[in-house]
Chain A
Amino acid sequence: MKRLITFISTLFLLSSIASAGNLFDHRLLEVEANLPVNLSNNYFSIKDIFFTGDGIIKIDLTDMANTLPKSGFGLIAEVSPDVGINLNFNKFKVGAIVGVDLYGNIGLGKGLIDFLGNGNELNKDIEADASFNLDLFAYAKVPVDLKIRRLSLNFSPSLFFPVVHGTLESAKATVTNDESGKFSVNVNGVAAMYGICDISKFFSDSGLAFNPQDLLTILTDAFSNKNFGFDMEGGIGWDYTKAFNVSVNYRFPIFPGRLNYKTSVGYEFNYEATAATISSAQPETSSTPMSTSVCEYVINRPLKLNLTAVFDPFHSRNFTLTGMAGFAVRHPFSSNIEEVDFYPEYNFGVRLSLANIITVNVNTSYIDQIYEHKAGLAFNIRLAEVRAGISVQSSSFITSFQATGIGAYLTVFAGL
């Protein structure tokens, strides 16, 4: 048995060496696990939260009002773990990857912050709004890379499940103080969560009531209901010279995913008083209990298109400069035009590698509406490769340098 294992290992090693210019370029067969995590806001830095000296977080509302952009305060979280297996040949690569994309953001409108930080104009309405958006996709894709002379092709057909999509259909607070001295406060909000199943079943009076055994049923139903969608990622690259490669990369929705259940809950608060009745007036509140209806909500993963250029001056791939510019559309082709979110994307990076054994890379980018400045380190001994990095980030370009958000990633490859 030992002889057999030794023989096969030697065969793979020889094959790898024969097919690769560098022993550490890649493994012929590998498994990978990738865990990137990003959390950012556009005002509070890590220092503001963890390095206050006395443990007291100090919120300067006036500074917030004067500093924050018109869109107000924003918090973004993004987690997209995946695992896969790849078969790499010199001119051809193919793999199978399954993963999850979780993206969520919470926004607090500028109106409330301006009021708290700077005050108000007499008899002018004070308005505050909030936003919330959550997308969770599970996907499986088969990436394929082809190298034909100077042309490189890669495409990755993806089958994705839109697990859940959450949004605030309305969230607004209005305080009116008119010239007669009357105060009125109106707060209303309606939250909607679209899912592949009835999400309300997972909530009980005591909190979450999710039974993992239901997962199989949910997935079975999702398949039978054809909730899955299909999109295509890929790119076409051309080695303009040995030192310069340009490529066009894309992700195009082909067939949208569907969410069949809409669970919504609403709340409204009204209060009206004068100075004389302000302590005795009673507010009127009403809430719409959590309810679920059958619907067909169509959703796609973000559409992306960009142009990437890679400069490899020494033709060694030990030192490369990368530039990317493009755009993305979140919720493309949505029937609700307010949910369609267009934004640009860019990335500039430097990669320095020592025979692909130790690699350092530095990037600055704006991807998925996050400004990110990232530094990464990779250590590759062919049989295993570990890539790790950290980043500072924010949804605001200026505060992205102040560490108002952090990110980290850890990717592990193992194979032969």
Chain B
Amino acid sequence: MKKYTLLAVLLSSFILFSCDNFAVPSGVEVKTEADYKFTIADIDLDLSQYFSAEQLSSNLSSGAEGMSIYNYNPNGAADKFELLMDMQLQEIPLDFSSYLESIDLSSSLSNMSIETSVTIPEVNEEFSQDISLSDINSMINALVSFQGKSGEGSLSFLMEDGCDFDYIEYSSGYLTVSGAFNNGKTVTLTLKDGTNLTGTFKNGTTKITIPAGTKLHKNGMSISFSDSDGIDYVAIIDSSSQVKQTSGLTLSDTISKDINTTFSIPASDALVSCTIGSGTLTAQVETPETWSGVSPSINGNITGGLDLSFTDGSNSLADKVLEPKDITLAGSFSVSFSNATITFTDGNPDIKLAVKIDSFSSAKISLGESYSASQSFDYELPEEATTMINYIIWKPSGISISCTTNLPTGNDIKMENVVSDFLGIDETVAKSVLNKTVDYLSTDKDEELGTDYHTSVITSGTKVDFSADLLLPGYDDTDKTLTLTNVECGQDYSIDLNIQPVFEWFKIAIDPSALASAPQTGNIETGFDLSSIFSSVDSLLFTEDQINNGEAFSGNIKIKSLPVYIFCQLPSVLSGAKFTGTISASTGSSPVYLLGSSTEDGTLASSTRPVLEFNEANELITNIASFDVTSTDFASLINGATSGSSLDVDYSLAFSAENMNPIVLVNPTYQSDPDVSADDTALTDGSSNISLSAMLVLPFDFTVAKDLTIDALNLYSGLDRTDPNWDLLNRSEAPSNETLDKFLGIIENVSLTYNLRTKPFGSDSPIRFAITIPQTDDAGNFTGDYILNDSFKLSSDTISLDPGDLMKTYPLQPSLNINIPQGNLYIPSKVGLATNVVVGIETNGKPLPLNFQ
């Protein structure tokens, strides 16, 4: 067989090795012609945070009081980003009732109002607890154990002094007798009725079963042993033995047990306490009727919501104060036995505690720390009001009190001393307001004016005065509580007392000459500086060198237009009224006048200020330019401003009217009142203010003075370009060229494809960008830029890369320079940078050896 095997091996070897191509595998080469594509990034930068009203506001050096800045999107159709600055120069309300509304009487009177409810607790709690018989059973078992010597016959019980019993009847149990008796010897306990209980000793002990119904008497029982006399023995009743009945039982110790229980008082938060009218706490121990000679006792304390001590029987709770807290009953129960007869099967002793409150004499309710039952205050009218108002004629005005309660009888609520000289109220007599609405209003006539209403003549120093006192049952101003009487257990009580001021002005006489005599001047420092706006953008997009070399936005970008609109709104009642004077703007140099000139005042005609409307994006969509109002272009002023100079607006305006006589304005509500005369003027809502405002529209539409270059990688937060060794591929060390060459050798082409969905800039000329990679020699010295391409489109394009140049360059610190050409540049209304980048890798089918030997 060996011969055949050898022959087969030789034959096979000859066949294999005779083939030219045979070779033992020593390695593996892999090749592929594949096209791989991966999305490596999806950039979606929302640059609106840098181009927004909020950003501009934060960039303003000082800000301006009375100026608001909005994202402006006229008619919701703007294609370029715009801002609108709204500057309120003057606003004088003619509806002088608003001055009265600004006097916050409601807040002051609200401290007198009451809105509370309480629930008077209903207490009827019972607590019971059984006393376990096991303790008594154990004590009795201890009585029955006895000892002695064999041959004595009589028993010597082990009970303590003071203890005694006649007999004890068991329902079950064992008697264990122990002594130095020989195995097989017996013991016999002869009961009083002659019955024998016998046990046989083993190892010196025997366990005798006590049959049900067995009575062990103290006297009349005997014991005998089959062993020799004189041997000490002890007989112990097993602790598990169950006593059925005992007679003549006397124990030297009492059986005690602690009791403890807690219950809560249901009550509302406003309830402070209740004084109990009548009520009892009952404590008792009930024993089975068949028991005799048993003396129980109980005592303890109640703490928490009630505070008292109690003993056996009924304990009165009258005049005790109940607080809405948890109530704890703690005490102890004890029972003593003297010649007692107990039958265990008749039940257990039962401890019973009961707390029952039948009535409360009073209940104290908290009204809150800020409550005050009395109010007295004087408010000075604003100077504008006292200057321009001659008098106010009131419809009945003052206060209105409404009170709704379900308080029990004897708890009245009254109001007294309601006094106001300003409103002509003087009610000093106390009046009940219980469950009714009571008005304290001015009612006196004005004979001089011939009206039935009170007139307040306004002079300098005129005050709005008011005082009132509320009388509440048992009110304690220190504790801010009231005390109700005659309350019932379990009853809900509520008080809803509301006091509201009533201001119903009928006519107001104003003196226009007061306005004319007070020329309005002012200055608004907008803090608006074009360079400051672009400074934040410059720091984001440009390098420090570019900024220092004047190759950033600041200084190279001019705004195309900056229209300013002035709105002068005059109420129709002031027909012929006008503002005259000057409005000028400056940026640190010579001012530009919107109204008048440096030598002559101008006159502002009346114009309607537009109502500002906003869309869901909180953009102002009202088209300001569509209103009939003159505008001035501040573009040249802003463009000519020196760096650091912000836009200031100065105005000096005098109000004048052709008719300088007092004007009597009638409340629009009472225009039909018969007391309205032909000379009176109705005041309508749309003309209640004198308003002077300026609106400045800033479109982000610029001219670029020269070509600018932005490195878009500055926008990529994933790179720490402050690190001199930052690497686009986040590598920490140069890769191995040997390894790289093996893999790069199978790559035919690498491409990056991008598609710009949202652009950060718009321009009339195409915006293109270039990618450059600084090259270094082995020593790390800069040898020049490798320019990948300098005219990629800022829309979508494909960049072909030489992976060797990228992968072998370390650190790879390319620049992605976007070229903004000289000409026009604008920021789109939806400003951002959104693009996705897809990398494509094509392999060339060349073999890649995987055995790197």
A163 to chain B, nearest CB (A): 30
Chain A contacts of B42 at CB under 8 A? 179-181
- The answer to whether A287 has its CB under 8 Å from any CB of chain B is no
Which residue in chain A gives the minimum CB-CB distance to B27? A56
Q: Roughly how many angstroms separate A276 CA and B723 CA in the complex, as a whole number?
A: 16
Q: Are B36 and A50 in contact (CB under 8 A)?
A: no
Question: Can you name the residue of chain A whose Cβ is closest to the Cβ of B19?
Answer: A51
Across-interface contacts of A55 in B (CB, < 8 A): 23-27
Docked Cα-Cα span, A56 to B837, in Å, equals 39
Interface of chain B residues 719 through 772 with chain A (CB within 8 A): 729-731
A316 to chain B, nearest CB (A): 29
* Residue B11, interface by CB 8 Å: no
CB contacts (< 8 Å) of A179 on chain B: these are: 39, 42, 836
Q: Which residues of A contact B730 (CB under 8 A)?
A: 276-280
A181 to chain B, nearest CB (A): 4
Bound CA span A62–B36, Å = 13
Q: Is B35 an interface residue (CB 8 A)?
A: yes
Q: Are B40 and A181 in contact (CB under 8 A)?
A: yes
Task: Please indicate the chain A residues that have their CB under 8 angstroms from the CB of B38 in the complex.
Answer: 122, 177, 183
Instruction: Enumerate B815-853 residues with CB–CB distance to A below 8 Å.
Output: 836-838, 845, 847, 849, 851
| A180 to B: closest C-beta gap in Å | 4
Residue of B nearest to A50 (CB): B22
- A118 to B: closest C-beta gap in Å: 5
Q: Residue A67 at the B interface, CB < 8 A? A: no
B20 interface residue, CB < 8 Å from A? yes
Contact A279:B29 (CB < 8 A) given known A55-B23, A62-B845? no
Instruction: Assess whether A19 is interfacial by the CB under 8 Å rule.
Output: no
Q: Please tell me if B34 contacts chain A, counting CB pairs below 8 Å.
A: yes
B707 CB, nearest partner CB in chain A, Å: 31
> A53 touching B847 by the CB < 8 A rule?
no
| Residues of B close to A118: CB separation below 8 A | 34-35
Q: Give the residues in chain B near A62, CB-CB below 8 Å.
A: 31-34, 845
B42's nearest neighbour on chain A, judged by CB, is: A180
Question: With contacts A58-B847, A274-B41, A279-B730 known, is A52 near B21, CB below 8 A?
Answer: yes
Residue of B nearest to A178 (CB): B39
Q: How extensive is the interface on chain B, given as a class?
A: 35 or more
A115 to B22, CA, bound (A): 32
Closest CB of chain A to B302's CB: distance in Å? 63
Q: How many A-B residue pairs have CB under 8 A?
A: 104
Expressed in whole angstroms, the Cα–Cα distance for A356 and B718 within the complex equals 83
Known: A279-B730, A280-B730. A119 touches B28 (CB 8 A): no
Binary interface encoding of chain A residues 108-152 relative to chain B, with 1 for a CB under 8 A from any of its CBs, else 0 = 000000011111111100000000000000000000000000000
**CA–CA, A51 and B41, complex, Å:** 46
| In the complex, B92 has a CB within 8 A of chain A | no
Q: Check B16 for interface membership: any CB of A closer than 8 A.
A: yes
Which residues from chain B contact A279 at a C-beta distance below 8 Å? 729-731
CB-CB under 8 A from A5, the residues of chain B are none
A50 proximity list for chain B (CB < 8 A): 16, 22-25
Contact in complex: A275, B40 (CB < 8 Å): yes
Q: Say whether A61 faces chain B, with CB atoms less than 8 Å apart.
A: yes
Contact (A61, B34) CB under 8 Å given A123-B39, A275-B41, A276-B730: yes
A127 vs B440: C-alpha distance when bound (angstroms): 86
Task: Report if B30 contacts A (CB, 8 A).
Answer: yes
A60 engages B31 (CB within 8 Å): yes
B706 at the interface (CB under 8 A from A): no
- Given A122-B39, A177-B38, the answer on whether A60 and B32 have CB atoms closer than 8 Å is yes
B36 close to A59 (CB less than 8 A): no
A294: Cβ under 8 A from any B Cβ: no
Cβ contact within 8 Å between A58 and B40: no
Given contacts A179-B42, A179-B836, contact A53 B34 (CB under 8 A): no
Q: A121-B37, A179-B836 are in contact. Are A56 and B19 (CB under 8 A)?
A: no
| Chain A residues positioned under 8 Å from B849 (CB to CB) | 56
**Cα A79 to Cα B575 with chains together (Å):** 115
Whether B28 lies near A57 (C-beta < 8 A) is: yes
CB pair B25 A61 closer than 8 Å:
no
Would A122 and B838 count as touching, CB distance under 8 A?
A: yes
Q: In the complex, what distance in Å separates the CA atom of A276 from the CA atom of B38? A: 14
Q: In the complex, which residues of chain B have a beta carbon less than 8 angstroms from the beta carbon of A14?
A: none
- Which residues of the other chain, A, contact B40 by a CB distance below 8 angstroms? 181, 274-275
Q: Given the known inter-chain contacts A54-B23, A279-B731, please indicate yes or no for A181 contacting B836, CB distance below 8 A.
A: yes
Instruction: For chain B, residues 408 to 431, give those with C-beta under 8 angstroms from any C-beta of chain A.
Output: none
Interchain Cβ contacts under 8 Å between A and B, 20 examples: A49-B25, A51-B22, A53-B21, A55-B24, A55-B27, A56-B28, A56-B849, A57-B25, A57-B27, A58-B29, A59-B28, A59-B31, A60-B31, A118-B35, A179-B39, A180-B42, A275-B837, A276-B730, A277-B730, A279-B731
Given contacts A177-B39, A180-B39, 4 further A-B contacts (CB under 8 A): A50-B24, A57-B29, A179-B39, A274-B41
Name B residues whose Cβ lies closer than 8 Å to a Cβ of A: 16, 19-42, 718, 729-731, 836-838, 845, 847, 849, 851
Seen from chain A, the residues whose Cβ lies within 8 Å of a Cβ on chain B are 47, 49-62, 115-123, 177-181, 183, 274-280
